[in-house]
A and B are shown apart, each in its own frame.
Chain A
Amino acid sequence: MSLITSAIGQGLLWAVLGLGLFLTFRILDFPDMTVEGTFPLGAATAVALIYRGMNPLLATLCAFLVGMVAGLITGLLYTKGRIPILLAGILVMTAAYSVNLRIMGRANLSLLGKSSLFKNDFLASLPQYFDSVFVGLVVIIVVTLLLVFFLNTNLGQAFIATGDNPTMARSIGIKTDRMTIMGLMISNGMIAMGGALVAQNNGYADVNMGIGIIVIALASIIIGEVAFGDLSLTQRLVAVTLGSILYRFVLLIVLQLNFSANDLNLLSAIILAICLLLPRFRKFFHFDRLIERSVRDERNN
């Protein structure tokens, strides 16, 4: 039971990443590698600030802002500098590694004996692992509501149109460069905030905690889509969170098969690859059924 609770808690906390990446991967329609750098950047920022005595909530907010700066840099390189988005993301991701080391002063910084968002009397009174479920739930509800509001404003609609058809967006006066930069900033801000939350939950930040992050974030998006099919935009946002929880369940099952935690990235990649291939399989099976039906119809005639 506690394993399941823990998986739900982890799923909720990591869903912030999925939602952040959704803005670039699904709405702007490109893969943003920056996230591999902004996730540990957010973690490092928050942990370093809390370590020096800052209020955890404020430190998490600072992580969000620092993540936005990273997104801004990728956005400027991509739109104004005309560097392909994959390369722009990799550049900022690589640079972020050194920045993270600077921020923490070492490769690994522990919050042992320090405060965090997960340390207060109310959360301590909850059963084991329910602290991350509670914090995760609050964060996800707030973030999802804000996103739904934003995407349904005139600005949000212009943002969606930019990803959907940039030529058309420009032709009706939408400044697509600005929209792209804004999307990258919000997305990376959210992912840095996710990093701050996960680091506080784990009790430490590590410079290497960003490796494979994009795969985990993508997995929650793709699993949500594969599991729930055709949805409205608001429903799709909720599906990302559910996908993130489902991903934790799958991971839980796989780890029960006695894989080592060192295999985690390999397993994540395999799970994501299977989910990405599922629609292809499905198409294949539909095709089979189609043939079967046509043969049967012919016989009846």
Chain B
Amino acid sequence: MNATTNETTNETVNADTATKTPLLELKDVSTVVNAHTANETKILNGLNLTVYPGDFITVLGSNGAGKSTLFNVIGGNLNADEGDVLLHGKSIKRESEEQRTRFLARVFQDPKLGTAPRMTVAENLLLASKRGQRRGLVPRGLRKHLDEYKTMASTMNNNLENRLNTATGSLSGGQRQALSFLMAVESKPELLLLDEHTAALDPKTSQQLMTATNDRIAADHLTCLMITHRLEDALKYGNRLIVLNAGKITFDVRGEEKKQLTREQLFNFFEDL
């Protein structure tokens, strides 16, 4: 296929969204590992990305392309060595991971990373409902939220609603990851980062969670970036698709153009990289 150049995508972006203000902007972001040594490498290499409110962007790229680093730079786990990260036009480059949680939520690939194993499902949901807020010396009031959590958990269609008082560590991987997802979206974050969140699950469970994810994002109009290795998912979901290669965005389609894209075209594009 004719690889779309950066210039033309930028033009279509501007035409599409001239009236919208961007939610998140990454400007010329570079990250360096092993700085000042012979092994100095740039993981992100002058990356530019503009995310508009309501965007659901699927992120593709081979191993080492910088997908996880991109998420870490947005999430504040890693600082950009060059360039700037803006939220609503204001630089958040200096903000810590904890500070950024007031607008950002993240689901990791490993179900174990997203939940507290010795705390119950309901306790986990309560913890996450206070995302980015002050946690004071006030009684937690778990009981009055139980009905709400039951309803919330039942949307995942995996019996999670009947295990609210179970320690998270004894849930199945699928239930645990569904809980991680609920914890990420329950406070309706301005930006949701999904880091291959269905990759560790079996095909059926993975599909179930992906469907629930899509429904929830649509219902709450969430802005989301989703890393995936499944080309089908990248094509099926979202309104925009980007491909990372060698620390840069080398492919960026949205709207109608993305709908027209076929698996073969995408696959060939990867072959050419």
Interface residues, chain A, with chain B CB atoms under 8 Å away: 149-150, 152-158, 160-161, 164-165, 167-175
Supposing A158-B127, A170-B98, A171-B97 touch, asked if A165 and B139 sit within 8 A by C-beta, the answer is: no
Supposing A164-B116, A171-B106, A173-B102 touch, asked if A152 and B127 sit within 8 A by C-beta, the answer is: no
A157 near B97: Cβ-Cβ < 8 Å: no
Interface residues, chain B, with chain A CB atoms under 8 Å away: 75, 97-99, 101-102, 105-106, 108, 112-119, 123, 126-128, 130-133, 135-140, 183
Question: CB-CB < 8 A to A160: which residues of B?
Answer: 116, 118-119
Distance between Cα atoms of A160 and B99 in the complex (Å) = 20
What are 22 A-B contacts defined by CB distance under 8 Å?
Answer: A149-B139, A150-B137, A153-B140, A154-B130, A154-B135, A155-B135, A155-B137, A158-B130, A160-B118, A160-B119, A161-B119, A164-B119, A165-B112, A165-B113, A165-B115, A167-B113, A169-B116, A170-B97, A170-B98, A171-B105, A173-B102, A173-B132
Distance between A264 CB and nearest chain B CB, rounded to angstroms: 34
B114 near A157: Cβ-Cβ < 8 Å: no
Distance between A225 CB and nearest chain B CB, rounded to angstroms: 13
Supposing A170-B97, A173-B101 touch, asked if A157 and B126 sit within 8 A by C-beta, the answer is: yes
Residue among B99, B114, B118 with the highest chain A CB neighbour number at 10 A? B118
Supposing A172-B130, A172-B183, A173-B102 touch, asked if A157 and B135 sit within 8 A by C-beta, the answer is: yes
Distance between Cα atoms of A169 and B132 in the complex (Å) = 11
Question: CB-CB < 8 A to B119: which residues of A?
Answer: 157, 160-161, 164
Distance between B92 CB and nearest chain A CB, rounded to angstroms: 14
Supposing A172-B128, A172-B131, A175-B98 touch, asked if A155 and B136 sit within 8 A by C-beta, the answer is: yes
Question: CB-CB < 8 A to A168: which residues of B?
Answer: 113-116
Distance between Cα atoms of A23 and B123 in the complex (Å) = 19
Distance between A113 CB and nearest chain B CB, rounded to angstroms: 42
B127 near A172: Cβ-Cβ < 8 Å: yes
Known A173-B130, A174-B127; further 9 A-B contacts with Cβ < 8 A: A153-B139, A153-B140, A154-B137, A158-B130, A165-B112, A167-B108, A172-B132, A173-B99, A173-B102
Distance between A260 CB and nearest chain B CB, rounded to angstroms: 42
Distance between Cα atoms of A154 and B131 in the complex (Å) = 12
Q: Which residue of B lies closest to A150 (CB)?
A: B137
Question: CB-CB < 8 A to B133: which residues of A?
Answer: 173
Distance between A213 CB and nearest chain B CB, rounded to angstroms: 26
Q: Which residue of A lies closest to B116 (CB)?
A: A164
Distance between Cα atoms of A156 and B123 in the complex (Å) = 12
Residue among A150, A154, A158, A174 with the highest chain B CB neighbour number at 10 A? A154
Question: CB-CB < 8 A to B126: which residues of A?
Answer: 157
Supposing A164-B118, A171-B114, A175-B98 touch, asked if A157 and B127 sit within 8 A by C-beta, the answer is: yes
Distance between Cα atoms of A126 and B132 in the complex (Å) = 53
Question: CB-CB < 8 A to B112: which residues of A?
Answer: 165
